[in-house]
Amino acid sequence: MTTASRTAAADRSLAQNLKANMTVPPAFPFTKEVLIDFLSTTSTAVETLKLAEEQKWDHNSVVGAVKSLQATGAITAEAKQHSGWRCTEEGERCVAQGSPEIRVVADVKKHPSTTQDEITSRLGKDVVAVGFGQAMKNKWIEQNNQQPKKELAPGEKKEKGPPPTFVVTAKGEAPVDETAQLLSQVQSGALTDEKTLQALKKRKLIAMQSLTGYLITKDAAFDSKARAQKGIAELTEAQIASGEWKTANYKPLNFQAQGAQLPAGQLHPLLKVREHYRRTFFQMGFQEMKTNRFVESSFWNFDTLFQPQQHPARDAHDTFFCESPEAANEHLIPKDYLEDVKTMHEKGGHGSIGWRYTWSKEEALTTILRTHTTACTSRVLYDHAQKCKRNGKWKPLKCFSVDRVFRNETLDATHLAEFHQAEGFVADKNLTLGHLIGLFKEFFSHINIKNLKFKPAYNPYTEPSMEIFGYHPGLKKTIEIGNSGVFRPEMLRPMGLPEDVRVIAWGLSLERPTMILYGIKNIRDLVGEKIDVNTLRQNPVCWFPEPEEAEDGNNKSTTPNGTTEQNNRV
């Protein structure tokens, strides 16, 4: 046997015998003073589990005394992990009463020509559920149908009769209860065959037990520190008034103890990344849009984007519809713009043939929880187009917003029904998809997500369209972090934008980049009722380097103390 095997066997023996040791009457009552007397007689390090086993002491009581002595500085205690197999409650029942299969066989021998239902009524469902099948498998019992088989005449149909009755009988001599014997070996620490142990574990008769022991080493001044009178913990006003404090023995202060956590508010990781999004867009020359409309009309959310009213994204599987108010106020929508959108859907214009269907005003006025903040973009672009018309001069525009949107999604590791969208657009002349790709590379270099991939996509209101993907080291795959494209003329011309103006736009995720930056694998650990409050209290600082600092190519971030950390976590 190797040294490692002997150590593992010793650990198993300690763990398996601990419970038994607790039930054996001790040689004499255990107290802290008893432990002090014992340690005074030895000069070597002592392991608490072995000590409890040898002296027949309760290990929990020993640990309590050890921690008390450690607080005085009389000893040092190093934690040691021990693991081993122990019998479960069912396993201990098997040792005391026999295994389920043996109990079934014994019952059948005691009650010849019995049935399975009768056995169940005597032994219980749990015993029979396990033991009956095991006894049948070992061929210790058998079942026989007591109803004679009826011979059918030619052409005679088989009539449906009562269900057959199976009588259970025992076969051969009484078997040896090998399961109980194996469990006894587990209790004594003698069973080491891994295959047998796993088989018993599968039957839930044994389980792995992990125990923590302590290696005790005495301090040079052990006797004086261990036997010193217990000091006073607090200085009181009465002690000061009476002068008692001058001669009192006070307990030394432990400056290594962790103080109580202050009940202060904490910033959620999403709020940190959201604020960095905003700061980055401001640095790039964008202005922020108003996003205070959670409830939108389908007109601004879908129709203005040249999205047909029969589009799958507009049904109940993807959209939350409002019951009250059920319809938006028609007078809040510019009448001429509404008519231009209707004409573009039905007949087209500006080189487009439209969708060629009968557009419904009632459908356009239905109220929904907005599925994207592009509805805000539509409002801003329309207002800007009208302003430029009045001034007689075109003026470029760059806007963004970061706010919540709602989708009737199935929740999983990367999808929520309510999430954030970072919306943005640039409106100017001669813009192309190349400008859009360059903008993303610049933006995400500030966020320190550099492994970007772009994939062609389809959107009803952009052409060309493009999805953005970022690599998640924890999931070891790329995940979608945004969608983008160039707005179609069918969307822009009804607004009144000039023919030579193009608009590049995007909708970026906030949750998924936060997952990448903080190494979170499941979005439900970031948002929702399952999130641990301690995650917010202890979440690391997400440190974003300046773009030139991130050019080392290793996707590392620089922390405030000068160290580097992978995945931007400090």
Asked whether the CA dihedral 276, 404, 484, 468 is positive or negative, the reply is positive
Asked if residue 468 lies in contact with residue 482, where contact means CB atoms within 8 angstroms, the answer is yes
Cα-based torsion angle of the residue sequence 189, 195, 200, 203 in order, rounded to the nearest 10 degrees: 160
SS3 106: helix
Task: Give the pLDDT confidence score for residue 426 in this predicted structure.
Answer: 94
For the residues of 471-535, what is the DSSP string, one character each?
EETTTTEEEEEEEEEEE-HHHHGGGT--TTEEEEEEEEESHHHHHHHHT-S-GGGTSSTT--HHH
* Parent domain of 554: 542-570
What's the total number of domains in the chain?
4
553 neighbors 527 (Cβ within 8 angstroms): no
Asked if residue 568 and residue 472 are part of one domain, the reply reads no
Residue 62 has pLDDT above 80, yes or no: yes
Is 332 part of any domain?
A: yes
Q: What digits encode the pLDDT tens for the residues 271-322?
A: 888 998 999 999 999 999 988 888 888 888 888 888 888 877 667 557 888 8
Domain assignment present for residue 185? The answer is: no
46-47 sheet: strands from edge to edge: 46-47, 206-218, 75-87
132 assigned to some structural domain: yes
Other beta carbons within 10 angstroms of residue 387's beta carbon come to 13
Is the torsion defined by CA of 534, 538, 540, 542 positive or negative?
Answer: positive
User: What is the mean predicted confidence (pLDDT) over 517-526?
Assistant: 80
Please report, for residues 66, 231, 552, the alpha-carbon distance to residue 79 in angstroms, rounded to integers and kept in the order given. 11, 27, 42
* 419 and 274 assigned to the same domain: yes
> Residue 25 pLDDT > 70, yes or no?
no
- Give the model's pLDDT for residue 396: 92
**Least confidently predicted of 73-82, 245-254, 543-552:** 543-552
Q: How far apart are CA 566 and CA 543, in angstroms?
A: 11
* Gap between the Cα atoms of 146 and 166, Å rounded: 6
Q: Which of 175, 232, 198 is nearest to 85 (CA)?
A: 198
- 368 lies in some domain: yes
19 Cβ contact partners less than 8 Å away, ≥ 6 residues apart: 86
CATH number, domain of 135, equals 1.10.10.10
For residues 454 and 509, state if they share a domain.
Answer: yes
- How confident is the model at residue 292, as a pLDDT? 85
133 CB neighbour count, 10 Å cutoff: 13
Q: Which residue has the tokens 């399975």?
A: 116
d(CA 382, CA 350) in angstroms, rounded, equals: 17
257 is a domain residue: no
Question: pLDDT tens for residues 75-102?
Answer: 889 988 888 888 888 888 888 888 888 8
Distance CA(34)–CA(48), nearest Å, equals 14
**381-417 residue pLDDT tens:** 999 999 988 988 889 999 999 988 888 777 666 567 7
Specify whether 171 is located in the same domain as 221. no
Residues 514 and 548 reside in one and the same domain: no
Token output for 213: 């022991």
3-state secondary structure string, 443-475? HHHHHCCCCEEEEEEEECCEEEEEEEEEEECCC
DSSP state of 362: H
Q: Of residues 194 and 158, which shows the higher confidence score?
A: 194
Global pTM reads: 0.54
- Note the pLDDT of residue 316: 53
**What's the full length of the chain, in residues?**
570
370 located within any domain:
yes
Residues 327 and 212 in one domain: no
Could you tell me if 214 and 356 lie in one domain? Answer: no
pLDDT surpassing 50 at residue 176: yes
Residue 158 confidence (pLDDT)? 66
| Residues 535, 546 within the same domain | no
Q: Do both 500 and 549 map to the same domain?
A: no
- Do 128 and 81 lie in one domain? The reply is no
Return d(Cα 211, Cα 553) in angstroms, integer.
45
Residue 556's pLDDT is: 40
Judge whether residue 559 has pLDDT over 50: no
CATH code of the domain covering residue 287: 3.30.930.10
Residues 330, 447: one domain?
Answer: yes
Domain match, 54 and 117 both: no
pLDDT score of 282: 93
Q: pLDDT tens digits for 432-486?
A: 999 999 999 999 888 888 788 999 988 888 989 999 998 887 778 888 888 999 9
In angstroms, the CA 423 to CA 486 distance is 14
Strand partners, 296: 368
DSSP character at residue 79: E
Residue 123 domain flag: yes
**Distance between CA atoms of residues 438 and 553, nearest Å:** 18
For 237, the token pair is 């006003």
- pLDDT of 26 strictly over 60: no
- The answer to whether residues 331 and 400 touch, using CB atoms and an 8 Å cutoff, is no
Position 522 in a domain = yes
Pairwise CA distance, residues 371 & 408, whole Å: 9
